Amino acid sequence: MIVYDSTSYGAVANNSTLTVSHTTAGDDRLLVVAVTIDDLTITVSAITYNGVAMTLADSYTGLKKIYLYYLVAPALGANNIVVTLSSTPDFGLMAVSYTGVNQTSPLDATIRNTDTTSPFSGNLVTSFANEVVVGAFADDGTESGRTPIASVTERQDVILGESNFGGFFGEILATSPGTYTIGYTDNYDGENTKLLLHFLGDDASTTFTDSTGRHTFSRNGNAQIDTAQSKFGGSSLLLDGTGDSIYSADSDDWNICSTVSENWTICFWMKFNATTGLQYFMTQFQNVTNYWDILHYDGNGLRFICVSGESNFIFLDYAGEINDTDWHHIALIKVAGSPNALWALYIDGTQVSYVSTANSATFTGPLYIGEQNAGGYVNGWIDEVRIQKSNYFGADPQADLSDTITSPAAAYGGVFSGTTYALASFKEIVAPGTHIKTKNGIAKANIKTLNTLATANAKTINGLT
């Protein structure tokens, strides 16, 4: 029986060589290594484990480039996997070892392709019982957060470049011949995600990347990436309270008040440096009589308001004051309804306000993060901003404020335009003459077994004569 042994991975940026230590144990060993490359023009020149060259099972050039290698009877203990490329891109590797694998002809079947629809997956047909089916995937997700589909055991969910692509490695222990599917889903909700800001980057960077690719942001003041504070990912947006904000041009992607028939979620993490005064986390601002905003006012709490023609068209009154400098998850959620939509604010998963209204309004104006109309500047940090045209957390706002949602425990998954994969199946170690392969439902013994039977029959016949 094939048994999982151990796993390892590594990644490097702008380099032609990657060395990763991997430890093996047990009998009848097999090491499988997937190499994933961000640059489609670059190839693997060599790959070894403990100085021994590995065998290529399959490779494919799609959205990313992927190679799948294996080595029978890899050296015991901790040794180095060394990969050498033809040039210097971002690339990585994922390695998994097993025991109980056929040591003579382990490889059964392979397949490789690209999949652009979640769940991202590939199908492989096996020929023997008790094989291990492995799948290695490379995608353009910038965070972990891949979830294996049913029956798949996840061995790796990692970032394989300099925060610009990721990988997944899964397996199935296939007890009988047949078709097996290996793959995963992510937590990126396709076209419903209208904005996704991770605020990743070098310290003091002024590049604010929308992972959906839909929007570009400029800055006011000294708004910048800060590696000293973050909720996830090692950096966040720093706003110093004296003129700092970022903004993006008018878009339908923040027309959250336009109709009662649409679900919307706006969420982010924030950490105050100082809680004093009015601080506007986010606003779409057309003019002083037409806008919506999410703000915090010390001594009062959070508020959401949609103002149309000087009227408080949609109003979630002050509630849920934040009076510390910890990280907090803020979510504004709108649940579609007829005749009314339900609106609510949540802090750290707890509902703090509620309104049911049929009112709606549409504005034309930029989206600002960290201010409104050159005032109310945020003094602190913001991370993981998401605008979603859906009820992302499955909220059910209640008039008695009894609803709760689950705040994210990790960074949101990156945007996946698709994945490139390679799948392979490997046979178990078996006693000589006992490996049975089926064809059209009929078991066929191998040649050694047939020869043995023929010899025995011949001896019996000779004995009778």
What is the mean predicted confidence (pLDDT) over 306-320?
91
Pair of tokens at residue 305: 């308001």
CATH code (residue 255):
2.60.120.200
On the question of a cis peptide bond just before residue 366, with omega within 30 degrees of 0, the verdict is no
- Lowest-confidence segment of 163-167, 267-271, 318-322 by average pLDDT: 163-167
- Same-domain pairing of 196 and 321: yes
Tens of pLDDT, residues 165-205: 788 999 999 999 999 999 998 755 666 889 999 998 899 99
| Statement to judge: residues 129 and 216 lie in one domain | no
- Asked if residue 458 belongs to a domain, the reply is no
Count up the domains in the chain and report the number: 2
Percent of the chain with pLDDT over 70: 88
Q: What percent of the chain has pLDDT over 90?
A: 76
111/204 same-domain check? no
The predicted pLDDT at position 161 comes to: 61
* pLDDT 10s digits, 138-171: 987 766 668 899 999 999 988 776 546 788 999 9
Residue 407 falls inside a structural domain = no
422 band by pLDDT with thresholds 50, 70 and 90: very high
**Which candidate, 432, 440, 434, 423, places its Cα nearest to that of 129?**
434
CB-based burial of residue 376 (10 Å sphere; 0-12 exposed, 13-18 middle, 19+ buried)?
A: buried
Residues 108 and 147 in one domain: yes
pLDDT grade, residue 416 (50/70/90)?
Answer: low
- 331 with 268, same domain? yes
Least confident range of 104-118, 352-366, 390-404, 408-422: 408-422
Between vectors from CA 412 to CA 151 and to CA 19, what angle results, nearest 5°? 70
| 445 belongs to a structural domain | no
Q: What is the pLDDT of residue 142?
A: 60
- Alpha-carbon Rg of the chain, whole angstroms? 28
CB 127 within 8 A of CB 177: yes
Residue by residue, DSSP assigns 365-410 as S-EEES-BTTBS--EEEEEEEEEESS-TT-----TTS--B----SS
- The verdict on 69 and 149 lying in the same domain is yes
Report if residue 398 sits inside a domain.
no
| Identity of residue 121 | S
pLDDT band, residue 462 (cuts 50/70/90) = very low
Amino acid identity, position 421: Y
134 with 213, same domain: the answer is: no
pLDDT the model gives residue 433: 47
In a domain, 425, yes or no: yes
* Cβ–Cβ under 8 Å, residues 184 and 121: yes
464 in a structural domain: no
| 233 and 336 co-located in one domain | yes
Residue 190 region, left (φ>0) first, then alpha (ψ -120 to 50), else beta?
left
Is position 461 within any domain?
no
Taking Cα atoms as reference points, which of 410, 411, 452 lies closest to residue 431?
Answer: 452
99 and 215 in a single domain? The answer is no
pLDDT, the chain, mean: 89
Do residues 177 and 195 both lie within one domain? Answer: no
Q: Is residue 451 part of a domain?
A: no
Indicate whether 197 and 62 sit together in one domain.
no
Q: Are residues 154 and 248 in the same domain?
A: no
What is the domain extent for residue 100? 3-184+416-430
